Structure 1
């Protein structure tokens, strides 16, 4: 019976939907996390009578045909790249992006990754790195005798060194943005990679046209709304239950039909 397969696709779709929602809720406190949304499409239709087909020799036509769908499929689990709330941390190497853009990170294999997680620190050589020790790109090294580090809204990194009146500029934090941010590939550790769908990275300095500004001693929270996710979870659960009831109803109909033939 066609309804069994159709309802089964609906149950699988809602199962995936719940997985996406659960991942969003699990990352509720993940710095810079961007929530995902599951998008679905209907499957192929079997046409028994086409719309507009002739019904007589006088050119009368069918106003609506007969098409039976075969269920649903997952089209995408797209990222929602909206701004998250900024939270003060009082740590001088924590940096949040207010607006568009991602930090450039140099991976150990030489690739460039991108992130909204600005929870940086220093390694043993004084280089600014991520929590996993990946270098900020372009690299910036802070002198050991630096007494104060200042990161401006435009990405300029300056330090105060004993014996010098004027601050010493160390470098410039750059940002990258993409034409299609949802096309980036998530690789975990709050990192994204460029893909053909995202388009090439557009590099620039914070505060310039199209790029957001930086805010030192702040971090960006996940853009996950707990109330919205719980509401979506309830809707997905109800949709799953309805598809399960369709399978039960179809099974009862098949059972009745079988009994009729046996009789």
Structure 2
């Protein structure tokens, strides 16, 4: 089998994965708190027919040698944790993190997940929850009949009790950050899970220790840049076509050899 056939096949497979990442980015262009993915490639091992610096005689050496690559593969995907645009909503329980950090939410099994989507509302028990019903950690419970729900930039939550003009503090929303946020496991539903690669979460108050501040009545939009994604899609398409032409040319050369030899 011609090595060019295999090499072009690896190129087709790698570009297909890259296009999948771009397609997912574009599909989530309006997803609150979504972070774009980028694909990381690496070349495969080389067949060294003549190593660089090999002796040609007692005096001279070859300057480059003969090193033939065997293709490409996708070695990883990375979340790009740049900040998305702020989208004012006028809803008091819509929160955006201006800067670094994640909200903490509790899953049904007690496990803690992390999200940058601050789309919260109240459940039947008065707890702040995500659209999936996962409660915020630490829990914020809003008493029935209260009004004037306010979240400060430092995460302090206050309300006005029925018949009272004095704000009552309900607690403080804390944020967490990671040494390597790109190492978080993306679960879907705007949720991430801690891994060995991300490191342990470092919790703190908004606006302190490098954590961002909280902006009320606002949601953080997707950080996908549509124009950049479209340009990447065109580049991937051209690369895919080029690899397909190499595959066709290599197949044609083998066909010619079979017919003439």
TM-score normalised according to structure 2 size: 0.99
1:149-228 matched pairs, under 5 angstroms: 149-228=149-228
CA distance in 2, matches of 1:97, 1:87: 12
Structure 2's unaligned 5+ residue stretches are: none
1:2 matched to which residue of 2?
A: 3
Deviations 1:54-103 (A, max 9, x none): 11123x21111101111001011110000000000111100000000000
Q: Quick one: distance in 1 between partners of 2:32 and 2:131?
A: 11
Paired residue secondary structure (2:159): strand
- Counterpart residue number, 1:48: 49
Distance (Å, rounded) in 1 between the aligned partners of 2:145 and 2:259: 88
Partners of 2:176 and 2:226 in 1: CA distance: 29
Aligned equivalent of 2:29: 28
Aligned residue in 1 for 2:232 = 232
Distance across 1 between alignment mates of 2:152 and 2:199: 29
Instruction: After TM superposition, give the deviation of residue 174 of structure 1 in Å.
Output: 0.5
Rounded Cα–Cα distance in structure 1 between residues aligned with 2:31 and 2:115: 12
Aligned-pair Cα RMSD in Å: 0.7
How far off its partner does 1:229 sit? Answer: 0.4
Supply the distance in 2 between the matched residues of 1:21 and 1:9 (Cα, whole angstroms).
19
CA distance in 2, matches of 1:123, 1:200: 29
TM-score between the two structures when normalised by the length of structure 1: 0.98
Partner of 1:127: 127
Distance in structure 2 (CA, Å) of the matches to 1:47 and 1:162: 79
- Stretches of 4+ aligned residues off by more than 4 angstroms: none
Q: Aligned equivalents of 2:132 and 2:64: distance in 1?
A: 60
